[in-house]
Structures are given as C-alpha cells and as structure tokens.
Structure 1
Amino acid sequence: MILDIQINNCDFILHCSGAMYWTQQRMLLISDVHLGKVSHFRRHGSAIPGQAIYRNFEKLDAVANYFSPEKICFLGDLFHSTLNREWHLFEEWAARTAVPLMLVAGNHDIISPHKYEALGVRLQSEWQLDGFLLTHHPEERTGLYTIAGHIHPAVVLGGMGKQALKLPCFFRSPQQLILPAFGEFTGTYVLQPKKEDMVYVITKEDVVPVTA
C-alpha cells in the first residue's frame, strides 16, 4: 500500500492512492484531484454513473484517515472547471477534515479565490519549503528540488510475450518528482524514463519501484 523513499535527507511515503506524505512536515501532498469533472461531463451528456461523483471524496477521506496529517497541500487542479454540485461536497469534506488546507493553483483552478478563502483554504502560486519547490507545473529550478503534478504520469511496462500494461506512477528524476493524478476519470500521459530516473508505479493496492 505504501513505499518509503528519501529525497535530500527528507522522508516521504508514497501511497497507492497517488498521494505522498512528507514525514518531517507531517503534510499530505495530493495533485490533480479534478473535483467536479464527473458532474461537468455528466452535464454535457457523458454516460458516467452518478455515484462516481463521490469516489474522489471517499479516496480523500481514506488517505487522510490513514496518515492523519497536520496539513494537506493540493498541488494544483483541485477543481476541473467552474462551480457545480461537487463544490458543496468539498465544503462538507473541508469542514470534517479540520486541518489546514493549501492549494498551489493549477491551470484548471479557475474558481474565485474568495470561495476558497471562505473555507479557510490558503491559495498561492508556488511554495518554497526546506529546499523544495511545491508547484503545479514541473520545472527545474537551481537550488530547489521540485515536487509537482500536472502531467498525470504513467509508464508502459512490457512483458515476455510482448504484452504491455500502462500504469500511473510517481515519476522521479534527479531534480524533481511528479505525482500521479489523484482523481478518478483523469487520464494519464506516458513518460519514457531515462537511466537516471526512478519510477514508482501504483496499482489499487501497491506502490512498486521500477528502474529504467
């Protein structure tokens, strides 16, 4: 279910949900939840079961209960688009979670900052903390190790019989780590690791390291 890793003398725990826990900061990092996406596509005629609306909140509850963090930081694209019925579910979730919430805004985060501020959610464009850069878009910046999202990374694993399996992953390079998309119905983008990269693929139950 989890995998312990270390980056620049800091301890992190990778969770099979796609979330990452920063042990020293007692902080949960989550990227690309895309709340509201199910309602958005249902409104435009997509045949997605209504119950799917609740899956992201069930995942959020599960991972928050597992780690009991002192704070939660969303690395962008918390909401997929404009306000819809899922905003009220988020209000309820934020109230019962009862820990400080931060949002590093992503390209999909177009809801008014005042709506987040009313819930006590702190917004910022990026966050530099103990030598790390927490941001939505991956980038390499001198003197900082980047933790980001946006890409929805995945890799394709090949088998002996030429079969292939695409799995979401944490994608780690020497200067940055890209989190997988946490949300349901988000899709993935296949990355090709280089020799110096490390990939941690996720399944429903495990986090598994894979070398290039």
Structure 2
Amino acid sequence: MNITINNQNFILHPCGAAFWEEKKILLISDLHLGKIAHFRKHGMAIPEKAVHENFNRLNAILQLFDVETIIFLGDLFHSKINNEWDFFEDWTKTVTQQLILVEGNHDIISKKYYTDLNIEIYSEITIHDFLLTHHPSTRENFFNLCGHIHPGIKLKGLGRQFLSLSCFFRKPDQMIFPAFGEFTGNFYLVPEENDKVYVLAKDEVIEIKR
C-alpha cells in the first residue's frame, strides 16, 4: 500500500516493513532476533528452521526496493546473545546497505557487538519533520515513526466471527509499526476517530475503515 505523510511517500509491505521512497530507507521495527532460540532453549517446541524465517523475509523485501539504508526502530535483538547473533552477523556480511539501530528496551547487549558490524546506534533520529524512535513519542512539529507496541486490531464479523491481525497504526502525528519478527505477539488497539489502520493480510496491506 502506498501512503503519503508530510509530502513523503511510503510503501507499506505485508511483512510489516515500510519503504520510504524519497530517502531510499527501509524501516523495520521489533525484529526480536534471538527470541526463537531463547524459546527453544527453554523447551518450547519451535522448529529450528523458524530461526531462519526472519532472515528469509529480510532478504525477500530487500529484493523489492532500491534500499540504501535500513533503519531498525528498536528491539533488534531480543535479549542476551545466543546463536541467532551468529546468523545475524553472517547476514550483515551479505548486504551492502547502511545499517542503523534506534535503540529499544530489549537492546541490552553491548554496543560493541553492533559497532563491530558497522551498525550505527542512536537513541532517536530526526529526518526533516520526522522523528524516529522505538517508544511512541510526541514532539511538536514532528511526525513520529515508532514501534514497541506490536500493534494489532481485532475485527468482528457476523456469527461471532473474529479476526486478529497485525497492523500499521496511524494517528494524526504518529505511525506505530507492527513487529517484524516471528513469535512476537500483538497488543490490540482500538482506533479513534482520526486514526487509520493498515492491516497485514497474507499478500497485501488493507486499510480498515473505522
């Protein structure tokens, strides 16, 4: 789905990432690498191949757009170092794009791990009238692009039918990104009058009217 914010064009992809056309920036939030390995370590029956799904999705979306910079809007790695870091390190060696991390609350490992991979780290980034953060924030004269919430929405149909979907949740001065990572869960929001909701369907992004 193509949307315009402050005269800038963004393409929302059903994987949960967004491509900022004018800046050639790919925006991704809440990848939570290492979470699957953490679950497996504690006995949860998650297939080992699920570890590689995040990287497969990253590679797939990079083939779609002319990306020069990838900005992770926080929670790139879930917790302490585990073997998924090795996969991430190998992945960084295959990409040519500049990599930037806006720190999230789960990004607790030493910054040296990131700097060793030439990944730049910031607490927040401002680009013209856009404020990029992990936690949803408000600042006068800025539109906030953020994550953290893992937004989702529940749709109710006839016959007590319910459908729960991840979404981009857009307020008048903010857009909260869905979690990109596998097994991250959702926090379900209820849109207000001026909010817009772009749900992630299997192969498309669909705006849900309030």
Q: TM-score, normalised by structure 2?
A: 0.98
CA-atom RMSD in angstroms: 0.7
Q: Which residue of 1 aligns with 2:14?
A: 16
Q: State the alpha-carbon separation in 2 of the partners of residues 32 and 51 from structure 1.
A: 20
TM-aligned CA deviation for residue 141 of structure 1: 1.0
Comparing 103-112 with 157-166, greater Cα deviation is found at 157-166
Q: How many residues align?
A: 210
Q: State the alpha-carbon separation in 1 of the partners of residues 119 and 49 from structure 2.
A: 26
Q: Which residue of 2 aligns with 1:103?
A: 101
Q: Which residue of 2 aligns with 1:123?
A: 121
State the percentage of identical aligned residues: 50
- The Cα offsets for residues 65-91 of structure 1, whole Å up to 9 and x where unpaired, read as 111300100000000001111111111
Please give the secondary structure, in 1, of the residue aligned with 2:144.
strand
Q: State the alpha-carbon separation in 2 of the partners of residues 160 and 178 from structure 1.
A: 29
Segments of 4+ in structure 1 off by > 3 A?
none
Consecutive unaligned residues in structure 1, runs of 5 or more: none
Q: 1:183 aligns with which of 181, 186, 189?
A: 181
Q: State the alpha-carbon separation in 2 of the partners of residues 60 and 124 from structure 1.
A: 21
Q: Which residue of 1 aligns with 2:82?
A: 84
- The Cα offsets for residues 148-198 of structure 1, whole Å up to 9 and x where unpaired, read as 000000001111223110100000000100000000000001000001000
Matches within 5 A, 1:1-212: 3-212=1-210
- The Cα offsets for residues 13-64 of structure 1, whole Å up to 9 and x where unpaired, read as 0000000000110000000000000001111111111111101010111111
Q: State the alpha-carbon separation in 1 of the partners of residues 170 and 185 from structure 2.
A: 19
Conserved in 2, the CA contact under 8 Å of 1:172 and 1:198? yes
Q: State the alpha-carbon separation in 2 of the partners of residues 119 and 67 from structure 1.
A: 23
Q: State the alpha-carbon separation in 1 of the partners of residues 185 and 175 from structure 2.
A: 19
Please give the secondary structure, in 1, of the residue aligned with 2:62.
helix
Consecutive unaligned residues in structure 2, runs of 5 or more: none
- The Cα offsets for residues 100-156 of structure 1, whole Å up to 9 and x where unpaired, read as 000000000011111100101000000010100000000111111000000000001
Letter paired with 1:27: I
Please give the secondary structure, in 2, of the residue aligned with 1:96.
coil
Q: TM-score, normalised by structure 1?
A: 0.97
Comparing 4-13 with 202-211, greater Cα deviation is found at 202-211
Conserved in 2, the CA contact under 8 Å of 1:197 and 1:211? no
Letter paired with 1:139: S
